[in-house]
Amino acid sequence: MNAAKRYVRHTMAVILALAATFVPSTVGSADSQDSTAVLCWNKDYPPPVGNSGPTIRREPKSCSLFKKGESANAYAVHSLGLSWKNWGASRTTGTGFVIVPMQGDKTPIKLTLSKPVTDCGRTVYSKASFQYPEFNGGANFRIWTCE
């Protein structure tokens, strides 16, 4: 093979390798449209009366979850700094923090999302369980699955 052909083949291989790095892959990724999601509300615009609908998120870093059918902050958990294990499975667990109402202090939280359902054309988690290790307590409730 002459030098010109080797140069062309090498150049094409480099171009294809570079192009492959810029093509987004959604197969099995957390951002895949097929992945289970959760509806995160803006805490200042709760469901269903708010001026802003929910954000549909996969592996959210922060999320305000409201008890299904409720819009008052008394029925919400506003979490932040979340990291997740087993996202997309029938049960996923995240750890992070919540802000203690009327105090402003951060406290650790263990958040479990479960019971995926298909609602409004997408698969979302429908139940949330919360554990507060510092207070040795927790709660759980069904969450909004459609805006």
Q: Looking at 5-9, 17-21, 93-97, 116-120, which range is the least confident one?
A: 17-21
Is 53 contained in some domain? yes
Residue 5, H or E segment:
helix 3-22
pTM above 0.85, yes or no: no
Is 11 contained in some domain? no
Is 76 contained in some domain? yes
Is the pLDDT score of 77 beyond 80? yes
Report the percent of the chain where pLDDT is more than 70: 71
The residue segments making up the domain with residue 79 are 38-142
Q: How does residue 52 score in pLDDT terms, banded at 50, 70 and 90?
A: low
* Mean predicted lDDT score pLDDT of the chain: 77
Is 32 contained in some domain? no
| pLDDT on residue 105 | 85
Q: Per DSSP, which regions of 6-105 are E strands?
A: 38-40, 55-57, 63-66, 76-85, 91-99
Number of domains the chain contains:
1
CB 38 within 8 A of CB 60: yes
- Across the range 45-72, mean pLDDT stands at 83
Instruction: Return d(Cα 113, Cα 39) in angstroms, integer.
Output: 11
Is 128 contained in some domain? yes
Is the pLDDT score of 10 beyond 50? no
Q: Which of 34-38, 71-75, 76-80, 90-94 has the highest mean pLDDT?
A: 90-94
